[in-house]
Amino acid sequence: MFLCMSSTIFFSSIYLLIACGSVYGWGGDGHSLTAAIAQTLLTNESLAFVRDHLPWYTSGNISMLASWPDYIIYPDTNPVDYLNWQWSKELHYVDTKDWSCVYNRDEDCNWNTGRQCVDGSIQNYTIRLADTQQDEIQRNEALKFLIHFIGDVHQPLHAGFQGDRGGNSIRGHFFGKETNLHSLWDNIMIERRISQDFHSQPLLYLDYLINQMKTRYAQNTSDWTHCPSSDESRYLACSTSWIIEDAKLNCEIVYRDENNQPMSISKEFDLGQTYYNTRMVILEQRLIQGGLRLATVINKIVQSITDNNKSNKICFGTMMLFIALVCLSIVTLSLLIYSFLRRKTTRIMLLPTIKDKNEYIPVA
């Protein structure tokens, strides 16, 4: 019965988030799908870990709270408390220089100059989650942010151009409906795909994406989960490299119309089937990459905690052995000293006492 309830919660929560969450970030769809892909790739230890660090009602289903960082910052989804979370708004994205086609971490996202961004936030929450000295509330929050931000960073326009606010200011029409470029990538293309090709059933689309990951992209998965830059190998998440991919995609694909012309604020776009057919493949690849990388990061964090616990146990064991050896040495030394002193005292006591020379009668 419990299993039955858990699976009902699992599927209904995905559906619920997908049904109501098409407003922010990747959109509820993108975040739920990315997290649901990741869920299938978690190790048993990671599944237990997420169960321990997410609220009980999720039963360890990371999709259920994948959009939480978006909900907390808006008054319509968090009317009482949204002001307290405004500091986290800038952690969802990074602005890159218009048509520079590169991401420069020192200039575009520098924690020291107060310019926070999704790159730094992924690193920050990765470190916090792996740090067992942090209190539980901080680590639980870190997990929820991490699930979301690794999704966000795979939506190319979350590393879009500064001048058009990541495509939000570029307006136009998609299949005749008014929208902006950012929303097109956040929700609209995904919604169209689910409704047209998967009978409006997000779970069928999830199955399709998982199947694509295991077949079409099976050869790519090890490359996608490996840090291409050696300076990033010290991190558990390679977010800088993922943003570099976004910057390239933006220049070559996202910001170009059906005639390969650059899109801008000054000209309304008019996009349809050609843009949808060619871009949807890239968008799906990003959803799969996001899921794969999210699972890899969580698995790495859990592995590093397990390794640390093991080495702490070994350290503790070695220390106890050392203390035992010291104690044993002290006891042995004390016993030696005691027996030495005792032998000396016995010998003195056994020697004849010569009180008077006359008493000594040498043997003839």
C-beta of 186 vs 284, nearer to Zn ion: 186
Nearer to Zn ion, 25 or 28 (CB): 25
> Binding marks (x or -) toward Zn ion, 56..75, rule CB under 5 A?
--------------x-----
Cβ count within 10 A of residue 306: 13
3-state secondary structure 31-93: HHHHHHHHHCCCCHHHHHHHHHHCCHHHCCCHHHHCCHHHHCCCCCCCCCCHHHHHHHHHHHC
Among 13, 21, 25, 295, binds Zn ion (CB under 5 A): 25
> x-or-dash pattern for Zn ion, window 150-189, by CB under 5 A?
--x-------------------------------------
Residue of closest CB approach to Zn ion: 25
Non-local CB neighbours of 103 within 8 Å, separated by 6+ positions? 94, 96, 159, 240, 243, 244, 246, 247
**CB contact set of 300 (below 8 Å; sequence gap of 6+):** 236
Nearer to Zn ion, 53 or 92 (CB): 92
CB of 152 to Zn ion, least distance (A): 4
What residues contact residue 262 under an 8 Å CB cut-off, 6+ apart?
A: 99, 255, 256
CA gap 311, 308 in Å, rounded: 5
Q: How far is the CB of 69 from Zn ion (least distance, A)?
A: 6
Query: By C-beta, is 119 or 152 nearer to Zn ion?
Result: 152
Question: What is the Cα–Cα distance from 93 to 159, expressed in whole angstroms?
Answer: 6
Q: Does 141 bind Zn ion (CB under 5 A)?
A: no
Per-residue binder mask for Zn ion (CB under 5 A), 275-314, x = binder: ----------------------------------------
Residue number, 24 or 205, with CB nearest to Zn ion? 24
Q: How buried is residue 97: exposed, middle or buried, by Cβ count under 10 Å (0-12/13-18/19+)?
A: middle
CB of 114 to Zn ion, least distance (A): 20
Interface pick for Zn ion out of 17, 22, 60, 92 (rule CB under 5 A): 92
What does the binding site for Zn ion look like in residue numbers (CB under 5 A)? 25, 70, 92, 152
